[in-house]
Structure 1
């Protein structure tokens, strides 16, 4: 048995045991591990039992939350997070659109998978209910992304100048795989900035493999995503007035290290592909022809405002996209998570997603202000890192179909968990403490009146 297969089985078994004897959140960590390792599609899959590890880990999460549902509900009530309301609304829309979908069998199959994803993130929100558990979940994601970077480094580029075939279940395409690595940039920057020497070394190791993986996969959308999210966070690290004394020097060192590392792993093939971003005249090589598909999606939505279901755009692309952009095939993707949602579940579905993101951002803004008022600057920068991680994925997803992506909803729930453990739980605790104090004063007053009488 290979070392990777043996390690996977050991970690999987340890996660199952830890779920019942340490924390239910271990089940979600196992789920994250299975997602990235994708054991059914790896070369070492023949060396492990042929089980549905993803299904087992998902059921394990449900069992874990069910055993202590009342306790988890006290720490992480769903009603405080509007994102779940909007996510459930999108699920309902998918089932309703299935009645008019062009490919109903495909649509309902994908809708069921999306329903499972929403349930998973809702359960994860309850299980990951402390600062420490949130760190564990973030590191589990980073380790998974590092494994993908390791695979890309091991495989190397193929004949097309990219790495293919190393993705996850819902991200088999190279662009989808690269997008899944994008949020790791801002998260690693936070851990490197705030961590001790051992954490910094771990961040350098993981960051090097992830960066090399992004370079080898060669996705322009992922490049824009990592540049925007990591770049935005670096600006906050360097210039924010809320940093502590001495942190600017560390921030500047981090900037220099990050840029130097990026330049070191980037090769001529990478820069040649990235240079096509500005080559708008050659629409075939620059990818700017995607704008024509986005315009076609808007035209399609004008005639079908309630959506056409999964693959609806692909089936009708030839009716809306100019023939010169079809490249000999009529089965074309819209290449944007926003336009994907618009053509699948209509304007209402797109509005629901935007409402979800807006409600999360507004709550995050309140949480950041609250932790600053409490003098918890580190919590502020952690929430900011989670915001930047989500922002980077949204940028990358603007150029590929990621409306129902696992990592998108992971980033959403990670930020929601951060808001909960750093803000909502504290505010809830203060309200409960005030209520207890008021109750005690009331009982004391009643007792004193009784004595005086």
Structure 2
């Protein structure tokens, strides 16, 4: 009952606040639907089964139109252009897709996501707006952590049967939580009082969930994302009082807390990365996906423009060698966002996708450069926090099919919004 009340209260509150306070609350509502409302929640069938995300998406699009003249055009940003190009190319891929029916279904969902993301850029116009959006992502991740704390592991030694609408398996959900983990680390460093306490509680719930999930890709993502933030913080030229001492204490605290939540099952799961690094054809292990990756490259020679949505799953029996143990079925996912993209949109689509990611990274690098020149620690920390979340998530999805996953595009939304806000602030100071 508490979960149901929380869900409806959050939705009602976001509708009201998006009209009365800032339109960014519509984006908050969209993110909370993503994390809270899913068929895998025990309370899903206790409430009316309607498309809550549709109404919030429509609200976002409506507010973007209403506010279209209140901020600079979003189409001046390279990131926005790449998002639009990716959507257009994915639509065109239907003409040569292996399965037009499957591609049409997945393309319609992907285009909806891209439309919402592009429209949302128009609604996040201040640092306060952006903080609200990021805190909503943390809140959604923390809810997942609390939900998993109640359910615990199955008899197979890990959490199963919990996901979100575009990631029904636990590994995809774990990758999304990597972003929330790095954000908690950032807010723990910069905030005081209640906000710091909230970051600690949320971070504890999220990390505990990751341990129970036993997702090796997510573990690596957290290591890379948090490591990026801490390393650039330690090496920064921005003046921060007692910076190096605080960083050392932060690392020691993090290691101590991790030692508390890690259990034997999680440790064994992590150690299995090394054990399964040896390629073998006779037994399905984590390294078996390397054969899937090689098969996807071979497939790309036959389908250089891509085979459309889920094309590798449909055609994998033609490309995975017969002597490879694939666990009972030859119709396998490629288990990598990069190779998923290669098989679905081909080389032209991957050029657009890589352009999108590079534009995202270089936008953050420009902000970092400005922050260092201005000796602006607040701006610098925010930028490297976003970078850490970005690289942490990309690490995690290297081993998962998340080319069209919402979390990546929410993260890109946060980056382009931050870049626009910083650019406008810099222009005001110059003028």
TM-score higher than 0.5: yes
2:300, 2:342 within 8 Å by CA — same for their partners in 1? yes
Corresponding position of 1:93: 89
Does the 8 Å contact 1:65/1:123 carry over to 2?
A: yes
Report the Cα distance in structure 2 between the residues aligned to 1:25 and 1:41, rounded to whole angstroms: 28
Cα displacement string for residues 14-47 of structure 1 (whole angstroms, at most 9, x for unaligned residues)? 1111111111111111111111001554222344
Q: Distance in 2 between matches of 1:128 and 1:189?
A: 22
1:11 deviates by: 1.9
**Deviation of the 1:282 alpha carbon:** 6.5
Q: Hey, what's the Cα distance between the residues in 2 that align with 1:141 and 1:22?
A: 19
1:78 aligns with 2:74: yes
Q: Distance in 1 between matches of 2:320 and 2:104?
A: 26
* Structure 1 stretch displaced more, 113-122 or 281-290: 281-290
355-364 vs 335-344, which moves further: 355-364
Kept after mapping to 1: 8 A contact 2:38/2:163: no
Identify which of 234, 241, 247 aligns with 2:243: 247
Report the Cα distance in structure 2 between the residues aligned to 1:26 and 1:139, rounded to whole angstroms.
11
- How far apart in 2 are the matches of 1:41 and 1:60? 26
Contact 2:284 2:325 in 1 (8 A): no
Conserved 8 A contact 1:39-1:45: yes
Structure 1 counterpart of 2:406: 406
Contact residue 383 and residue 419 of structure 1 kept, 8 A: no
1:261 to 2:257 alignment: yes
TM-score (norm 1): 0.91
Are the counterparts in 2 of residues 278 and 286 from structure 1 also a CA contact under 8 Å? no
Kindly indicate whether residue 209 of structure 2 is the aligned counterpart of residue 210 of structure 1.
no
Which residue is 1:450 aligned to? none
Contact 1:360-1:416 within 8 A present in 2 as well: yes
Query: Retained in 2: the 8 A contact 1:193–1:250?
Result: no
The residue number in structure 2 matching 1:51 is 50
Q: What whole-Å deviation, never above 9, does each CA across 1:359-401 have from its counterpart, x for those lacking one? A: 2222221221112222311111111110110111111111000
Deviation string 1:252-292 (CA, Å, 9 cap, x unpaired) is: 22212211111211111111111111112375565111111
**Counterparts of 1:91-170 in structure 2 under 5 Å?**
91-170=87-166
Shift of 1:315: 1.4
Q: Partners of 1:330 and 1:50 in 2: how far apart?
A: 35
After TM superposition, the structure 1 = structure 2 runs for residues 43-442 of structure 1, keeping only pairs within 5 Å, are 43-71=42-70, 73-74=71-72, 77-279=73-275, 280-281=277-278, 283=280, 284=283, 286-323=285-322, 324-422=324-422, 424-430=423-429, 433=431
- Structure 1: distance between partners of 2:225 and 2:136: 20
State the distance in 2 between where 1:7 and 1:314 align. 38
Residue 251 of structure 1 deviates from its aligned partner by 2.2
SS of match in other structure, 1:54: helix
Contact 1:193 1:251 in 2 (8 A): no
* TM-score, structure 2 normalization: 0.95
Q: Deviations over 1:385-427 (max 9, x none)?
A: 10110111111111000111100111111111111112x1124
Name stretches of at least 5 consecutive residues in structure 2 with no aligned partner.
none
Checking the alignment, whether the CA contact within 8 Å between 2:338 and 2:398 is kept in structure 1 is yes
Decide whether the 8 Å contact of 1:315 with 1:330 is kept in 2. no
Residue pair 2:214, 2:266 contacting (<8 A) in 1 also: yes
User: Alpha-carbon deviation of 1:338?
Assistant: 0.5
**Cα–Cα, structure 1 residues 202 and 259, in superposed 2: closer, same or farther, change >3 Å?**
same
Name the stretch that deviates more: 339-348 or 41-50: 41-50
Separation in structure 2 between the aligned mates of residue 6 and residue 320 of structure 1, nearest angstrom:
49
Unaligned runs of 5+ in 1: 434-453
SS of match in other structure, 1:123: helix
Alpha-carbon shift at residue 248 of structure 1 (Å): 2.9
Cα-Cα RMSD = 1.6
Give the structure 2 partner of residue 437 of structure 1.
Answer: none
SS at structure 2 position matched to 1:288: helix
In structure 1, C-alpha distance between the alignment counterparts of 2:236 and 2:284, rounded to whole Å: 39
